[in-house]
Amino acid sequence: MRTVRLSIMGFGAVGQGVARAILQKKDYLSTMDIEPIVVGISDRGGACVEAGGVDLEAAIERKQKTGSVAASDLTALDVIKDIDHDIMVDATPTNIEDGEPGYTYMLEAFRHGRHVVTSNKGPLALKYSMLCDEADKNGVKFRFEATVGGAMPILNLAQDALAGNSVMSIEGILNGTCNYILSRMTEEGLSYKHVLGEAQELGIAETDPSYDVEGIDTACKLVILANSIFGMDVTYDDVDITGITKITPESLSLAGAEGMVIKLIGEVRDGNDGIIRVAPKLVPKNHPLAVGGTLNVALLRTDMAGPICVKGKGAGSIETASAILSDIIAICKNRC
């Protein structure tokens, strides 16, 4: 059995989802000869560390009871630098101003010889090539399936399952909150403000929804797709962005009369007519991109396999953890 020592930075919805996934999948992982041991977990309150393996159930319970997982004087950076482990899982908040704290955590992890798996878009949307160079320089792996589309596999689909194909373009709905708002406005003829208010009450939209509804979240995901699948060298500033805040029930109803729906579509295309854009678009009602509710969807156009479409849950604790777990397994299979 190969022991894999992990740290988890950030112990919110995703970090706890990773801990639960590791607990749930212990037997499954052992059939793959993988024995995961979490040696450190941190949140804003501090860290808990156990060289022999943190008791994950107790850590989740402590977090829920006291608000913090901390059980030592150590910080997240102490864990990354000083506690021996193979893979650092970064599940800290997305910040598109400077990428922190995830950016520094990732750099320090690479410099200390640790592979990194992350769900945090911010550092990748701002400093993708710098991070990849640092991982390469230190001979470690950097994987980030969970940053684009939550549970929905896009990066692994394009890079592994569709290996040998050239991907010419990717179009998709990459933000569940916007899709929920537009779907309900379409189905019920309600105003943007009304549906946004209800989405906030249901916890589908944040108190400050601007990051989602202005298209910023989708733009960050496009940057990651553009750089990792198309080999571009773009950052968030290169994306042409229009959000959904100006869409009216009248425009949705006019679209409906023509057999169309309006969706917030992220689009990236390589080549001379290269595009990296987020904007509301008319989509025929029976088109594969016309998915409803909070679902995400991506349509990849490839040279040999033709169009390939994948849809699924773009967010959620255990859903996002599933993408993180798949990256951990991929690193382990390559002998971590």
Q: Does 42 bind ligand NAP (CB under 6 A)?
A: yes
Q: Does 322 bind ligand NAP (CB under 6 A)?
A: no
Closer to ligand NAP by CB, 283 or 325: give it. Answer: 325
Min separation Cβ 239 and ligand NAP, Å: 17
Min separation Cβ 176 and ligand NAP, Å: 9
Min separation Cβ 313 and ligand NAP, Å: 8
221 is catalytic: yes
Choice from 35, 37, 45, 200 touching ligand NAP (CB under 6 A): 45
Q: Does 9 bind ligand NAP (CB under 6 A)?
A: yes
Alpha-carbon Rg of the chain, whole angstroms?
Answer: 20
Min separation Cβ 201 and ligand NAP, Å: 18
CA-wise closest residue to 46 among 31, 28, 27, 59: 59
Assign residue 208 a region: left if phi > 0, alpha if psi is -120 to 50, beta otherwise? Answer: beta
φ/ψ (deg, to 5) at 198: -65, -40
The two three-digit tokens of residue 52, written as one number = 């022999």
The arrangement of strands across the sheet holding 46-49 comes to 46-49, 34-43, 2-9, 87-90, 115-118, 142-143
CA-wise closest residue to 76 among 43, 111, 109, 123: 43
- Count residues near ligand NAP (CB under 6 A): 26
Closer to ligand NAP by CB, 157 or 252: give it. Answer: 157
CA-wise closest residue to 70 among 35, 50, 93, 44: 44
Residue from 25, 221, 263, 313 carrying the catalytic annotation: 221
Q: Does 68 bind ligand NAP (CB under 6 A)?
A: yes
Choice from 66, 84, 93, 254 touching ligand NAP (CB under 6 A): 93
What is the Cα 195 distance to its own chain's centre?
25
- Name the one range near ligand NAP by CB under 6 A: 12-20, 29-37, 48-56, 106-114: 12-20
CA–CA separation, 12 and 39 (whole Å): 17
Min separation Cβ 204 and ligand NAP, Å: 11
Q: Does 11 bind ligand NAP (CB under 6 A)?
A: yes
CA–CA separation, 238 and 212 (whole Å): 18
Q: What is the SS3 string spanning 120-139?
A: CHHHHHHHHHHHHHHHHHCC
User: Which residue in the shown chain puts its C-beta closest to ligand NAP?
Assistant: 12
Write out the binding residues for ligand NAP, residues 102-161 only, by CB under 6 A.
Answer: 119-121, 146, 150
Choice from 320, 327, 328, 331 touching ligand NAP (CB under 6 A): 320
Residues 6+ apart with CB under 8 A from 294: 176, 177, 179, 180, 204, 313, 314, 315
Choice from 19, 49, 94, 255 touching ligand NAP (CB under 6 A): 94
Closer to ligand NAP by CB, 45 or 292: give it. Answer: 45
The arrangement of strands across the sheet holding 295-302 comes to 240-241, 275-284, 260-269, 167-173, 295-302, 306-313
- Name the one range near ligand NAP by CB under 6 A: 43-51, 207-215, 223-231, 267-275: 43-51
Provide the residue type at 312 as one letter: G
Give the active site residues: 221
Contacts to ligand NAP by CB under 6 A = 9-15, 42-45, 68, 76, 91-94, 101, 119-121, 146, 150, 315-316, 320
